Structures are given as structure tokens and as C-alpha cells.
Amino acid sequence: QMPTPMSQSSQVFNFSAGPAILPASVLEIVQQDLLNLADSGMSILEMSHRSRTVDQLLHEVEADVRALADIPENYSVLFLQGGASLQFSMLPMNLLSVEQPADYLVTGVWSQKAVQEAEKVGAVRIAGSTESEGFIRIPRQDELSCSPNAAYAHFTSNNTIYGTQWQDAPDVGTVPLVSDMSSDIFSRPLNIERYGFVYASAQKNLGPAGLTLVIIRNDLLERSSRSLPSVMNYATLVKHGSRYNTPPVFGIYVLHLVVKWLRERGGLAGIARGNERKAAKVYAEIDRTEFYQGVATDDSRSFMNITFKLPTKSLDEVFTQEATKVGLLGIAGHRLLEGQRASLYNAMPESGAVALASFMRDFERRHG
Ligand SMILES: *Cc1c(COP(=O)(O)O)cnc(C)c1O
């Protein structure tokens, strides 16, 4: 039996976990600008990072990021390379001291990788973990054992692989709170004053791979030792306005368009409402029937990555194949977890969530 084709068969929806969907209108602007940016006669890809155009770009993108997320002057914004994975190392190299351990809350593979890298640099305490339960939920506040003397406390706000998300940031007292927000940054309001340090690789919710956004509270810059490699020293990078060396100019340019797109859509509060609506449509299908089994527990569900399984492994395979045929792409689960994973990042239109929900109903009718 063939699946019913969708009404617009030429339309595809990209549910990939990352690199991931970007707003179609942003990609159109990129295409229009590509050969000749702002009447310069040159492509952004050809421009010096010290040119006036790029000066202005860096100035405006920082201002727009600050306006979008309400980031005050006592925080610095950095545009770096190396992905979130480089931050797993740079963060402890800059902020951890040998005498003072850092607390890590472990809620998935990305948190574990952050721990592994920090352990190469200094002392790490695990202040909470749901590993024994297969990472299907976020720990409750009363399960955490954070130290009031930690160098910082690190958590992963959204667990891309398992489809779990902290509904609210953990309370770690006066210890600087650090978050890897790679897969949910700017998907909901961000109360930055609760954080000392936030980082995100761009390729989930911000732009192309090759760019990492870092937001750091300025008092923490004092911890960066001068013996660090210069390109890995936050204080040096801030001093040079992200241009100690050549920054990823193209990625920053695309990020700027994405940030402007977010501001036009009501900013973080506006995009959060849309994200909740989209996720609710897919979770409604999971909750409606036993046919689909959600991976995450109800209180830990992610609005960004929705993970679920079908009754058998072979049905899971058929689901992925048929979804692909009707243009619902990138939906197979992570190899560690299998099943399905639908990523509904900011750029996924509501029509994508509606198409997936209706495909799920139709699939159950034919195979349930
Ligand atoms: C994708 C991802 C990473 C890894 O990002 P890279 O840019 O590949 O280093 C880290 N943390 C989370 C939460 C992610 O989703």
C-alpha cells in the first residue's frame, strides 16, 4: 500500500536534528545577496573581515542579538568557530581552576561529552544525572546536589538525541550557571541574568554550521589565564570583538538574517508560542494512541526534538521510508536511540507539524 501523497507534492519539510531547517525567506535573501551584498559589487564570501561592510554587520548583529534576547551591557556576545564541542574544552580551560570543581548535570550524550572534556582540564562533580533511566527525563530540582562552592554549574538545556528539555533552568544559587543551548537557543524567552555563560553551535536553531554563539558575563572574563592559547581565551576574544582572528563571516551574516526574522515574528515570546503550538500537534498524536510511544516522560518533553517509537523496529523503518516518500525528511531517530525524531526548530512552519500529525494518523490507519 502506498501512502497518500500530500496535496503539495513538491513541498518537503526538513525535520533533521542538525544541520537543520532555516527560514525559507532567509535563504531567499541569501540567494539575492550572494553575488552583490548591499551594492558593494562583492559577495559576502569575498569580503575582508575588517572591511566597513563587515564592521557594520558585526555591530548590527550584536545589537540585534542583544535586543532579541534582552542581553544587558555586563554580558559580552562572541561569534566563534569550533562548534559547541570546542566550548566543552574552552569553558573549563577558562573558568575552571584546579582547586575548585565544577558541577555538571548529566542528561544525555552531549552533557557526557562536556564532562569528558572538562575532566581533562580540572575536577568535575556530577551533581545530577538521569543516565540510569536512559536519559528519558530531566532531574527534578530536589534530586540535584549542587555545591555552593562550584566554579560553575553546567547543564544541557535541550537534549537533542532523547527529546528532553529543561522546562526551567536549575537553581544553583550564586554559582555561575552555564548552559549548552545548542538545540533550543532563542526558541523561548531567555532570562540571561540567571546565567554566567551560555553557548550554542549555530546549525540547529541559528544558521549554518561553523559558527558558535557565546554569551558570557563580564566578571567571568577575569578567570581567563594568560597562558591559554589566544584563540581559546575568552578575555582576548572579547577584547578583539570576535576578531582576534578571522571570524566565520558568512555564518554571522546568516545569523543576522535569522535574528531579524525572529524579531519580526514577535521575538522570543512570539516564537515560543508558535513552537508550543507546533509541538502540541505532534504530541497530541502520540498521546491519542498506544501505537506511538513517546520516549521522553511527560514532564520533560522537548518542544524542539520530539522522539517516539512504533510498536516494532520494522514498522519504525517503514514509517521513516514512507515519511520520506511524502516529503517529511530527516525523521529517523538518532542511531543510539532509533525510533523517530521530529525536530521542530524555530524555522519549521506550522504547516510542517500539521503535515506530520496527519501523516501519523494516516500511517496508523494503514498499519495499526
Ligand atoms: C549538536 C549539539 C552539540 C554538538 O555541536 P557541534 O557544533 O557539532 O560541536 C552539542 N550540544 C548539543 C546540545 C547539540 O545538540
Query: Using CA positions, which residue lies closest to atom 12 of ligand 1?
Result: 182
Residue 255 C-alpha cell reads as 545569523
Distance 245 CA to ligand 1 centre (A): 23
Confidence bin at 98 (pLDDT 50/70/90): confident
Distance 293 CA to ligand 1 centre (A): 26
Which tens digits make up the pLDDT trace of 132-157? 999 999 999 999 999 999 999 999 99
Which atom of ligand 1 is nearest to 108's Cα? 13
| Rounded distance between C-alpha atoms, residue 359 and residue 351, angstroms | 12
pLDDT band at 10 (very low <50, low <70, confident <90, very high): low
Mutate to test the pocket of ligand 1, among 199, 201, 206 (most ligand atoms within 8 A of CB): 201
CA of 159 to the centre of ligand 1 (A): 10
* Catalytic status, residue 239: no
If you average pLDDT over residues 214-229, what whole number do you get? 97
Cβ-Cβ contacts under 8 Å for 333 (sequence gap 6 or more):
307, 309, 316, 339, 340, 341
Q: What is the pLDDT of residue 8?
A: 42
Mean pLDDT of 29-33: 97
pLDDT at 2 over 80: no
| DSSP annotation of 357 | H
pLDDT bracket for residue 6 (50, 70, 90): very low
Q: How far apart are the first and last CA of the chain?
A: 13
Residue 1 pLDDT exceeds 60: no
Burial of 194 (0-12, 13-18, 19+ CB in 10 A): middle
Catalytic-labelled residue, pool 180, 184, 278, 281: 180
Mutation test residue for ligand 1: of 86, 90, 105, 110, the one with most atoms within 8 Å of CB: 110
* ∠ Cα 46 78 174 (to 5°): 170
Mean pLDDT of 36-43: 94
Distance 182 CA to ligand 1 centre (A): 6
Mean pLDDT of the chain: 96
From 184, 204, 278, 281, the catalytic residue: 204
Q: Give the residues surrounding ligand 1 with Cβ less than 6 Å away.
A: 18, 83-85, 110, 156, 160, 180, 182-183, 201, 204
At residue 224 the predicted structure's pLDDT band, cuts being 50, 70 and 90, is very high
Q: How far is the CA of 288 from the centre of ligand 1 (A)?
A: 32
Inform me whether the pLDDT recorded for 102 exceeds 70: yes
Give the other-Cβ count within 10 Å of 259's Cβ.
26
Return the pLDDT at 331.
97
Q: Which three cell numbers stand for residue 1?
A: 500500500
Atom of ligand 1 at shortest range from CA of 202: 7
Distance from Cα 214 to the centre of ligand 1, integer Å:
13
Q: 7 pLDDT exceeds 50? A: no
| The ligand 1 atom nearest the CA atom of 158 | 13
pTM, two decimal places: 0.96
Residue 303 has pLDDT above 60, yes or no: yes
In sign, the C-alpha dihedral spanning 92, 201, 354, 338 is negative
Ligand 1, atom 2, lies closest to the CA of 182
State the pLDDT at residue 9.
47
Summarize pLDDT for 307-336 with one digit per residue, the tens: 999 999 999 999 999 999 999 999 999 999
Give the model confidence (pLDDT) of 276-285 as tens digits: 999 999 999 9
Query: Is 287 a residue of the active site?
Result: no
Q: Give the pLDDT of residue 252.
A: 98
**Cα 355 to Cα 7: distance, rounded to the nearest angstrom:** 10
Residue 3 has pLDDT above 70, yes or no: no
Q: Which three cell numbers stand for residue 231?
A: 584563540
| Mean pLDDT across 58-78 | 98
Quick check: 5 pLDDT over 80?
A: no
